[in-house]
């Protein structure tokens, strides 16, 4: 399996393990001059949940793929955390911050996959 696809699968699992919601995978691979091939966008309901999702993503991805993020920013404020895995960038938002930046609309020409919510 393609390493990016497996990484996306494990990141998504890490998000879902901490009840992250409204997960969208944006495939940017057919768009010229992008900084990565995939964005994973999700949200949590509080700064505490954002940090829990961040830790879960980091642990799950490393355990299952051996990959660590190159950089993680935003944990100090815990309103928007970005995790850079090179080919994949994870964005974890509080709902109001996600709505304000509206990355899905910004990258509207990308293929967007909405991951179904877990019960």
Q: Which token pair is 55? A: 């830790």
According to the model, what pLDDT value does residue 109 have?
A: 87
pLDDT recorded at residue 93: 98
Per-residue CA distances from 70 to 17, 21, 26, 45, 60 (Å): 22, 24, 20, 25, 15
Would 78 be classed as within a structural domain? yes
Q: What is the CATH number of the domain that holds 81?
A: 3.30.460.10
**pTM (two decimals):** 0.94
Mean pLDDT of the chain: 95
**pLDDT of amino acid 107:** 86
Contact between 36 and 108 under an 8 Å Cβ cutoff? The reply is no
Q: Is residue 97 part of a domain?
A: yes
Looking at the domain assignment, is residue 106 inside a domain?
A: yes
Asked, for residue 119, whether it belongs to a domain, the answer is no
Low-confidence ranges of the chain (pLDDT < 70): 1
* Total of domains in the chain: 1
Domain extent, residue 68, equals 3-111
Report the distance separating Cα 62 and Cα 78, nearest Å.
21
The reported pLDDT for the residue numbered 51 is 98
pLDDT at position 22 = 97
Please check whether residue 116 lies inside any domain of the structure: no
């Amino acid at each position: 399996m393609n390493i990016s696809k497996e990484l996306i699968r494990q990141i998504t699992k890490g998000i879902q393990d901490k009840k992250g919601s409204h997960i969208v995978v944006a495939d940017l691979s057919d768009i010229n001059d992008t900084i990565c091939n995939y964005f994973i966008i999700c949200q949590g309901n509080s700064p505490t949940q954002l940090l829990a999702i961040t830790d879960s993503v980091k642990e799950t991805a490393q355990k299952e793929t051996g990959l660590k993020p190159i950089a993680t920013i935003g944990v100090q404020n815990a309103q928007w955390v970005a995790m850079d895995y090179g080919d994949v960038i994870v964005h974890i938002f509080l709902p109001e911050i996600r709505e304000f930046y509206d990355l899905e609309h910004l990258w509207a020409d990308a293929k967007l996959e909405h991951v179904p919510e877990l019960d």
